Amino acid sequence: MKKAFVKSYGCQMNAYDATRMADVLGAEGYTATETVEEADVVILNTCHIREKAADKVYSELGRLRVLKGERAQAGQDTRIVVAGCVAQAEGAEILSRAPTVDVVVGPQNYHRLPDLLARSRTKRVVDTEFPVEDKFDHLPARRTLGATAFLTVQEGCDKFCAFCVVPYTRGAEVSRSVAAIRAEAEKLLQGGAREITLIGQNVNAYHGVGLDGGAATLPDLMRVIADLPGLLRLRYTTSHPNDMAPDLVAAHGDLPALMPFLHLPVQSGSDRVLKAMNRKHTADAYRALIADVRAVRPDIALSSDFIVGFPGETEAEFEETLRLVSDIGFASAYSFKYSPRPGTPAAEWADAVPEDVKNRRLQALQTLLDAQRHAFNASFVGATVDVLVEKAGRHPGQVAGKTPHLLPVQFDAPTSTIGTVVPVRIVRAGSNSLFGEAVADAAVAA
C-alpha cells in the first residue's frame, strides 16, 4: 500500500485543501501516514503570507532531500510535492532552488495530483495556471470526517490590502454555488459532522448562485445550511469589516445555529495606517460595526488580526491600536510584525519600522491581548457551557471539545460522547484550555 504524508502550514483554507489532497490520493489507493520516513509521497502545503512562513518551506525541503536520498538507497522512491501559496507564487523557481522537488502545484490545481505525480516520473512538473475547470467538480468524496469540518465556500480576494499577497496567490473572489455547498455539507453531516465552518479568504463577500438561480449572500447560504438535518453549529471565517452587510449582522441575532464567535480582522487602530493599508474603513467604523453586532448578540466573542510596524507607523499610531483593543475587548487574536512581501505595494515603500521597535510593539500588543484572553477564559469558571465533543482528550478517560465561543474544554467522559453536545461545568481556566466536569450524565444526543 502506498503512503502519503501531507503537512500543512498557515490558514484554515490550507488545512481544508490538505484534507482534500489526502482525499485525492486516497482515491488513488494511498493511505495517509503521519510518519514522513515511510511516505512514498510527501506534500508540503505551504503558506506565503509572511516571510517566516515562506522560509519554512526551504528548511523543510532541506530535511526532505536527506530523507529522499536515504530512501533511494533502500530502493524506495519518494515524490516530493510543494503545494499551496508558495507554489503558486514561486512556481518553477522552486524547482531551481530545490532540486529535490518533483511537483509544484497551485491551490487551484491539486485535483490533478495523480496525473502530475505520474508525469513527474519522466520530468519535474509545475502546474500553477488558473484552470478553466472548477477543481471542486473533480475532487473525490471526502474521507476524513470528524465532528467538526471546514467547508470552502469562497476563494480569493479582491480587496488588495497593501501588505497582502492573497489577491495575487489566490486570485480574484470566486464563490461556489449554494447547491454545490449544500451537497458537500449534506455529505459531511451524513458522515458525522455536527459543526461546519464555512471558509473563504474573504468569506463574507460570498456571492454564489442561489437555489433559485439568483444571487445568494452569506446569510442566505447560512440559512440553507442551518436547516440541514444533523447540523448543530455553524461558523464562518475569515471576513473583512466592509463586507459585514446588515443582513449578516442580523443573522448573528436570529440564526440559532450560528455560534457567538466572530473573527473580524482590523489590522490597526490608526486611521492614517488603515488608509495606507488600503483597508477602506476607519477605526471608528470598526467600533460602530462591533457595537451593531453586540446589539443583536451581546455575548459574542470577538477575535481579530493585527499588524504592528507597518511602514511609517509612529508610536502614537501604534498606541491607537492599543486603544482600539482596550475599547473593544477581544476573546482571542492573532498579531504579527509587518513582513514585506514581494509583489505587494507596501513592499516598495520606504519608512520601514526598525526591527527592535516592531518587537517592542508586538510584545506590548500581545501582553494586552493575552490579558483580555485570560479574563475572557476566566469568566466561564463556575458556569455550565455546552461542549461539542470532538476527540479523545490528553489523558486517558478524558475527551476534548469546544464551547460555542470556540474555547477548548477538557473533561472526563467516554469517547462515545464524540459528536454530541455535553453540558459541562467549568472548574478551571488554563491559558489555552478550560477544564470542567460533565453535568450529571446529561449528554444531549446529536
Near ligand SF4 by CB under 6 A: residue from 108, 201, 335, 410:
201
For 154-294, list the strands marked E by DSSP: 154-155, 174-175, 195-199, 207-209, 215-217, 233-237, 261-263
For 226-317, list the strands marked E by DSSP: 233-237, 261-263, 301-308
**Which of residues 240 and 337 has its CB atom nearest to ligand SF4 in the complex?**
240
The reply to whether 369 sits in an annotated binding site is no
Total residues interacting with ligand 5AD, rule: CB under 6 A: 12
Near ligand SF4 by CB under 6 A: residue from 13, 44, 82, 157:
157
Task: Name the minimum Å distance from CB 46 to ligand SF4.
Answer: 16
Near ligand 5AD by CB under 6 A: residue from 9, 30, 336, 411:
336
The reply to whether 161 sits in an annotated binding site is yes
The b/e string for 101-120 (b: 16+ C-beta within 10 A; e otherwise) is: bbbbbbbbbbbbbeebbeeb
The reply to whether 49 sits near ligand 5AD by the rule CB under 6 A is yes
The reply to whether 341 sits near ligand 5AD by the rule CB under 6 A is yes
Task: Report phi then psi at 153, rounded to 5.
Answer: -115, -20
The reply to whether 159 sits near ligand SF4 by the rule CB under 6 A is yes
Task: Name the minimum Å distance from CB 391 to ligand 5AD.
Answer: 26
The reply to whether 47 sits in an annotated binding site is yes
Near ligand SF4 by CB under 6 A: residue from 41, 149, 153, 164:
164
The reply to whether 134 sits in an annotated binding site is no
Contact 308, 336 (CB under 8 A): yes
Contact 127, 274 (CB under 8 A): no
Near ligand 5AD by CB under 6 A: residue from 5, 206, 330, 338:
338
Task: Name the minimum Å distance from CB 202 to ligand SF4.
Answer: 5
Chain centre to alpha carbon of residue 38:
28
Among ligand 5AD, ligand SF4, none, partner that 307 touches (CB below 5 to 8 angstroms by kind): ligand 5AD
Chain centre to alpha carbon of residue 62:
26
Task: Name the minimum Å distance from CB 305 to ligand 5AD.
Answer: 3
Among ligand SF4, ligand 5AD, none, partner that 167 touches (CB below 5 to 8 angstroms by kind): ligand SF4
The reply to whether 231 sits near ligand SF4 by the rule CB under 6 A is no
- Of 206, 201, 188, the closest CA to residue 47 belongs to 201
The reply to whether 164 sits in an annotated binding site is yes
The reply to whether 163 sits near ligand 5AD by the rule CB under 6 A is yes
**Other CB atoms within 10 Å distance of the CB of residue 403:** 22
Task: Name the minimum Å distance from CB 215 to ligand 5AD.
Answer: 26
Long-range contacts of 372-378 (CB under 8 A, 24+ apart): 372/325, 372/329, 372/330, 372/331, 372/333, 373/330, 373/331, 373/332, 373/333, 374/429, 374/431, 376/301, 376/329, 376/330, 376/331, 376/332, 376/405, 377/407, 377/429, 377/430, 377/431, 377/434, 378/429
The reply to whether 334 sits near ligand SF4 by the rule CB under 6 A is no
The reply to whether 88 sits near ligand SF4 by the rule CB under 6 A is no
CA quadruple 213, 217, 219, 222: dihedral sign: positive
Near ligand SF4 by CB under 6 A: residue from 19, 45, 202, 268:
202
Residue 362 host element (H or E) = helix 355-378
Near ligand SF4 by CB under 6 A: residue from 24, 161, 181, 289:
161
**Which of residues 15 and 228 has its CB atom nearest to ligand SF4 in the complex?**
15
The reply to whether 240 sits near ligand SF4 by the rule CB under 6 A is yes
**Which of residues 231 and 325 has its CB atom nearest to ligand 5AD in the complex?**
325
**End-to-end CA distance of the chain, in Å?**
36
Only segment of 23-31, 145-153, 337-345, 411-419 that touches ligand 5AD (CB under 6 A): 337-345
Residues 6+ apart with CB under 8 A from 376: 301, 329, 330, 331, 332, 405
Contact 400, 419 (CB under 8 A): no
The reply to whether 303 sits in an annotated binding site is no
* CA separation, residue 250 to residues 126, 404, 429 (Å): 45, 18, 31
By the criterion CB under 6 A, which residues form the site for ligand SF4?
157, 159-161, 164, 166-167, 201-202, 240
By the criterion CB under 6 A, which residues form the site for ligand 5AD?
49-50, 163-164, 265, 267, 305, 307, 336, 338-339, 341
Sequence ranges of the binding site for [4Fe-4S] cluster:
11, 47, 85, 157, 161, 164
